[in-house]
Amino acid sequence: MELAGIELKNPVMVASGTFGWGREYADYLDLNKLGAIVTKSITLLPREGNPPPRIVETPSGMLNSIGLQNEGLDYFLKEDLPFLAKFATPLIVNIAGESAEEYAELAKRLSRETAVKGIEVNISCPNVKKGGMAFGVDAGLTKEVIAAVKKATSQPIIAKLTPNVTDITVIGQAAVDAGADALSAINTLVGMAIDIETGGSRLGTLTGGLSGPAIKPVAVRMVYELARAVNVPVIGIGGIMSGGDAAEFLLAGAQAVEVGTANFVDTAAPLRILAELNDHVHRHPRALNLS
């Protein structure tokens, strides 16, 4: 299937940050069978990440504060890309930065790589120049960063939206106006967990990002709103654990999905979900009019 100029193998991809650099899961499932591989967010320079604890389990979900730990673009190009390039599965590289220029530089250098078939822009990151407000909570900042990426690359651009906003369609439209070829939603919801013995945060940082089944209803609602507001494809993300969950996103208007936290619970999750989805479509051909 085709999505915004990317030739996906099927509608089930893996979500950024939950599948490492692919390598970590290669022993457990055939990477060639995934719809696409989306890498963890890559930054221009290496990032050490946040202090532990970085993970707290919450009811039907988890909070994380990884802090975008990664080795930076040069390391990725040298060490991880050659491995990922060996697979027939399209590779979508997720990028994160602290300024529009940084995003643009990442996009420019990644576009030179033939193995890269698309760029997913993680706009949930704080804009360091503008006092740390996340790009993705402001329509103007979203436009600025997506426009900068658009200028730097001819690759298909997926803007990955944060749910921590009042009206996600406003941000989605801003991203499309600036040249996004598709939208993916949602990233994690900002949350907190307090240790009632110590009174402090249960994470090494004050807040973290909530993911997993707990966020699915919020994600389905946001995908539904986006799909009706914009004229580019929407990729659904958030708490997908089964083929039924994936079907729910497709019914809400998504054209494809990304599987995240489920990878931690079941190393075969994306392929199991794909099989369940196909089975579901088979049994309900009219409910899901897929092409």
Q: Which residues are catalytic?
A: 125
Query: How far is residue 176's CA from residue 230's CA, in Å, rounded to a whole number?
Result: 7
24 contact, one of ligand FMN, another protein, none, CB 5-8 Å limit per kind: another protein
Query: Should residue 237 be labelled a site residue for ligand FMN when binding is judged by CB under 6 A?
Result: yes
Q: Give the Cα separation of 250 and 23 in Å (integer).
A: 28
Among 2, 27, 114, 286, binds another protein (CB under 8 A): 27
Pick one of ligand FMN, another protein, none as the site partner of residue 57 (Cβ within 5 to 8 A by kind). Answer: another protein
Q: Is 239 in the site for ligand FMN (CB under 6 A)?
A: yes
Q: Give the number of residues in contact with another protein, rule: CB under 8 A.
A: 35
Which residues are bridge partners to 121 per DSSP? 95, 159
Residue whose CB is less far from another protein, 25 or 224: 25
Residue from 59, 54, 12 nearest 236 by CA: 12
From the CB of 224, what's the least distance to ligand FMN, in Å? 16
Based on the shown chain and the rule CB under 8 A, indicate whether residue 205 belongs to the binding site for another protein. no
Cα Rg of the chain (Å, integer): 18
Query: Contact at 8 Å (CB) between 240 and 212?
Result: no
Interaction of residue 267 with another protein, rule CB under 8 A: yes
Helices (H), the chain: 73-75, 81-84, 100-111, 139-152, 168-177, 216-229, 243-252, 262-265, 269-283
Q: Does 2 bind another protein (CB under 8 A)?
A: no
16 touches, from another protein, ligand FMN, none (C-beta below 5 to 8 Å by class): ligand FMN
Our CB check for another protein shows the closer of 11 and 212 to be 212
- Of 26, 49, 66, 278, the residue at the interface with ligand FMN (CB under 6 A) is 66
Half-sphere exposure of 194 (CA within 13 A, CB side): 4
Q: What angle do CA 264, 15, 17 make, to 5 degrees?
A: 70
Binding site for ligand FMN (CB under 6 A): 15-18, 40-41, 64, 66, 68, 94, 122, 160, 187-188, 211-212, 215, 237-240, 259-262
